[in-house]
Structure 1
Amino acid sequence: MGNRAELGTFLRSRRARLKPEEAGLRQYGERRRVPGLRREELAQLAGVSVDYYVRFEQGRAENVSDTVIDAVATALRLDQFERRHLLHLVRPDHTGARPAQQVRPGLRRLLDSVSGTPAFVVGRRTDLLAWNDLFAALLTVDLDALPPERRNKIWLAFCHPVVRGRYVNWEHKAADLVAQLRMELGRHQCDPEFQDFLSRMSAESADFRRHWEAQEVREKSHGLYHLRHPAAGEFTLSYECLLLPDDQDQSLVVYTAEPGSPSEAALRLIDSRVGTAS
């Protein structure tokens, strides 16, 4: 069994959001002291004893079967990302501290060769491992000048006022980042560096603590972000996140604009200023 506290908190949060009538349970007008499903109600829906579910939620049920995990996930109406996160919490990778993250030279050359498109490589804990000039210009931040521990998407979005101001809908961006980070925690909950990072972020940012306590989990492989730039105004970029086949902890992320759109014109304007500066 993995991190007992993390597992229990996640399951309680999912019980709390599900009303009995949504789960097909009848209510008889009694006053409920807690929101959502009680443990005995969830045990009934999952087809296990109350005692067994209590031990499961507390992380004390050893060798839990896939059938039980699936039954609990179904009873809680978990989506595909929440199911995967639950499985990670129950059966974690017990590898401790991970080796330092390295970007292959060929991948760095690929970033440098990409023209007119912001691109970067992100690693564990949303660390920025490599990027091209246009991505830094998009953020309007000299990433090379930052200490290595600050070259991190979470820290930049929550603690760097300039980067925070780049996102038109900052709350949406913040929620996405934290939900992805929690998904990653399920895989790396035994990594002390991950726990240290969470402690530092919680100490530095009340907004981070607020989003972290929401217990949201998801993975994002593509999507849209609405951005603003002092030279180009507001525009929208698509992103594609490509997991590297030889390192499951690294992804190549590329931003693009719809051809012929005002967003493409905005991106070209920013790119032209990068060329002028160079």
Structure 2
Amino acid sequence: MDDGTHSDTAEELGRFLRAHRERLSPADAGLPGTGRRRVPGLRRDEVAALAGVSSSYYVRLEQGRASRPSHRVLGAVARALRLGEEDVRRLHRLARPATRRTEPPARVERVAPHLRHLIEGWTGTPALVVGRVQDVLAANALADALHSDFAERDNILRMLFLDPAAEAFHRDAERARRRAVADLQRIAADTPDDPRVLRIVGELSVRSGEFRALWARERARVPPCEVKRVRHSAVGDIELRYEALGVRSAPGQQLIVLQAEPDSPSADALALLGSIAAPGVPRRQDPAPGG
């Protein structure tokens, strides 16, 4: 039975977070100046972006409505608010007043062998499998060649926000970034305590001002990407039809298939790219889902 202790603690947690949020200026938090403000300190969405959580989740936390936030989330909020050791301990006591729970281990995503074998057989169609936070879990040879202008090809979000090659490769890089952030916000809203989500959001919030700005916005619906227009340094412009298919055997994973219109300049460019990437290997246009 609730004797009022929980609601009292929740109110105290809200007061604690608001007080520390209002005492920080954007400059204190490493954010660019945004002119005169109507209220002191940081906004809730700015703290959320710095902590790597969604704005709606931070609001629930400040209102005492978040259900037992994880130690990782609390640690991220503490860093965002620049809390000292004693304040960090108080934050944990207020946010998690009951008995401690065991943190679930981080989920390791793997691609099923049959799915990896399937995409490797598509020698004329770029295909890759991405995880729930857009980690590239597997890619066939042509997909790897298509993205060879990027220094690292391990995560779509990192490629978009941290690699200068993104501006030249994507004909509409801004739209690609907005879509990627919207997808990540959806995952973060469903699993706010996921350590992988927290790590990628935290990293990008620190390293990319553009990501911080997009992440701080309320999640908006981005139209699905049906055509992907790119420019590869070796073969020029390529236009590809884009399909993202959910993997039923591994919820959260997506099979991404990129297809050029048959007998088009894009198909010729893709075939040329394949011959450059793997000379001597015959290339063909493979039947693939969505085509």
TM-score, normalising length: structure 1: 0.61
Deviation at 1:195, TM superposition (A): 1.2
How is 1:2-81 mapped onto 2 (pairs within 5 angstroms)?
A: 58=63, 60=65
Deviation at 1:212, TM superposition (A): 1.2
Distance 1:59 1:219 in 2: 31
**DSSP-derived class of the 1:276 partner:** coil
TM-score, normalising length: structure 2: 0.58
Q: 2:244 corresponds to which letter in structure 1?
A: C
Number of the residue aligned with 1:69: none
Deviation at 1:98, TM superposition (A): 3.8
Q: Is the 8 A contact 1:167 1:226 kept in 2?
A: yes
Q: Is 2:166 the partner of 1:171? A: no
Deviation at 1:267, TM superposition (A): 1.2
Q: Is the 8 A contact 2:150 2:166 kept in 1?
A: no
Number of the residue aligned with 2:263: 260
* Greater helix proportion: 1
Q: 1:140 corresponds to which letter in structure 2?
A: S
Q: Is the 8 A contact 1:226 1:237 kept in 2?
A: yes
Percent identity, aligned pairs only, is 34
Point out where structure 1 has 5 or more consecutive residues left out of the alignment: 6-32, 34-53, 63-94
How is 1:122-137 mapped onto 2 (pairs within 5 angstroms)?
A: 122-137=130-145
Q: Which runs of 4+ in 1 moved over 3 A?
A: 57-62, 95-98, 217-222
Distance 2:240 2:64 in 1: 42
Distance 2:280 2:194 in 1: 41
Q: For residues 106 and 266 of structure 1, do their structure 2 counterparts lie closer, same or farther at Cα, with a shift above 3 Å needed?
A: same
Distance 1:139 1:60 in 2: 43
Q: 1:112 corresponds to which letter in structure 2?
A: E
Q: For residues 196 and 124 of structure 1, do their structure 2 counterparts lie closer, same or farther at Cα, with a shift above 3 Å needed?
A: same
**DSSP-derived class of the 1:125 partner:** coil
Distance 2:233 2:274 in 1: 13
Q: What is the aligned counterpart of 1:224 among 219, 222, 227?
A: 227
Q: Is 2:206 the partner of 1:203? A: yes
**DSSP-derived class of the 2:226 partner:** strand
How is 1:56-205 mapped onto 2 (pairs within 5 angstroms)?
A: 58=63, 60=65, 96-141=104-149, 146=152, 151-205=154-208
**DSSP-derived class of the 2:133 partner:** helix
Q: Is the 8 A contact 2:204 2:211 kept in 1?
A: yes
**DSSP-derived class of the 1:165 partner:** helix
Distance 2:192 2:214 in 1: 18
Q: 2:174 corresponds to which letter in structure 1?
A: E
